A and B are shown apart, each in its own frame.
Chain A
Amino acid sequence: MVEQLGDLEAEIMDRVWSAREPVAVRDVRGLLDRPLAYTTVMTVMDRLYRKGWLTRERSGRSYLYQPALSRSAYTARMMSEVLSGAEDRGLALLHFVETMNPAEYETLRGAVQWHESQRTPGSERTPPA
């Protein structure tokens, strides 16, 4: 149940981000792939509002919701935490590899190409026309 609500949160955030304008619960419900009770969608959106993912303002008898931050803003923040090596403070994100500076990268690429040519002799030479 909790897992399903989690999936629903992701789905609803996706629709709100795609909407590009303030949306009501009714609008979001219409955009979902599966038919869900109005109250279910309202509960999840209320939860997202309380957790700070959505902002809302009253419009008549209901609310209009907007994302607090754009999807790319969250992505950018997460990436900067990963790329800046936040794991050094013990966060242990286990980033695959840090990026190199251009000079070192070119040297290493040269070394790899040399190893490749050793592995498959003759492959470095251009084939005869």
Chain B
Amino acid sequence: MISTGLIAYALLVTVGLPRPLSAASWTSRAPRLAISMWLAAAASAVATVILAPLLLVVPVHALGDLLVLLVQWCDWADHQLPVPTWTVPQAVGAAGVLGVALRLGYAIVAVTVLQRRVRRRHRREIRLVGRFHPALDVFVLDHPQPSAFCLPGRDATVVLTAGALHALPPGELHAVIAHERTHLRGRHHLILTGAAILDRAFGPVPLFEDMPGELRRLVELAADDGATRHCPRHTVAHAVLRLAAPPVSALGMGSTAVRQRVLRLLTAREPLGGPAVAARALLIAALLLTPLAAVTMPALSDLGYHCL
């Protein structure tokens, strides 16, 4: 019964939520709130797909009994946990839990191992190939294409190309560096790594398929906002525009994301009002608490039954 409810809830979060959330316009006004909502939805969905099959194995009343045992003042000492007898639903549930855990575990290993190897190589290469610029506290790569990025992780650092140093006026240079440092301070790479892991594990599910692209867009907006705390908005906009200039040699990508980013900086829209933020924070809290509540509510009522 509760399993059915949890499955319905999981479908709502993983299939129903992603499209409206991607399409919503408030997300670019409050990118950090939107990032929280995506992460809460992902955590909620993962918790649910683990809990739903788990409940087939361990019935809710057993969880309730366990809670009873944990609560000392109930003074109900001679209770024994039921020894599980294997039935078909329990076997299905166990297979489900195991399947989800294995998929997730495999994705974690696959993504982080590859990432660690490439990061280590990049870190070495930057240190040996790049030149440290002490005044700006960045590494400079001797390459004509104006570009900037950051290497997160241990010894996190911002990297600029010689082309970027050449092309950017001082104000915009600081905007670019402030943007990249916001990425590093906000640990944005961990957010994107988590999204990549979930995409790898549960790929075709809309929530996990849409999340990496959306989060990538949102962390850029959040980093732009971080840069605007140090520089005027139009300076950040010009810096984005300058580094998005098509390269002489290669074909650039078509990107509506860049367009939105620049115009967003130039048309300063009101940040979300208090009530709008509160409503979304409530939704985030609901996403985080629902799976937990679905499992513990019957158990708590059980607890009440035993104790009263």
Contact = CB atoms under 8 A, between A and B. Distances in A.
A90 B246 contact: no
Nearest to A96: B148
A83 B249 CA distance: 13
Given A94-B183, A96-B149, A100-B258, A87 B192 contact: yes
A102 interface: yes
A74 B266 contact: no
A32 interface: no
Contacts of A115: 234, 263, 266-267
Nearest to B164: A96
A124 to B, nearest CB: 15
Contacts of A10: 127-128
A72 interface: yes
Contact of A78 (B129, B195, B253): B129
27 contacts: A6-B127, A53-B128, A71-B129, A74-B129, A79-B143, A83-B147, A86-B118, A90-B115, A90-B195, A90-B212, A93-B151, A94-B183, A96-B149, A97-B243, A99-B244, A99-B246, A100-B252, A101-B246, A101-B251, A101-B253, A101-B254, A102-B246, A104-B252, A104-B258, A107-B259, A108-B258, A108-B259
Which of A78, A88, A94 has the largest number of chain B CB atoms within 10 A? A94
Given A74-B128, A92-B152, A112-B241, 12 more contacts: A6-B127, A51-B124, A74-B129, A78-B141, A88-B212, A90-B193, A94-B149, A94-B152, A94-B223, A97-B240, A98-B252, A100-B245
Interface centre among B115, B152, B197, B255 (most CB of A within 10 A): B255
Interface of A: 6, 9-10, 13, 51, 53, 71-72, 74-76, 78-79, 81-83, 86-102, 104-105, 107-109, 111-112, 115-116, 119
A86 B70 CA distance: 49
A97 B183 CA distance: 13
Contact of A97 (B142, B244, B254, B266): B244
A51 B266 CA distance: 48
Interface string B223-240: 100000000001001101
B138 to A, nearest CB: 12
A60 B109 CA distance: 48
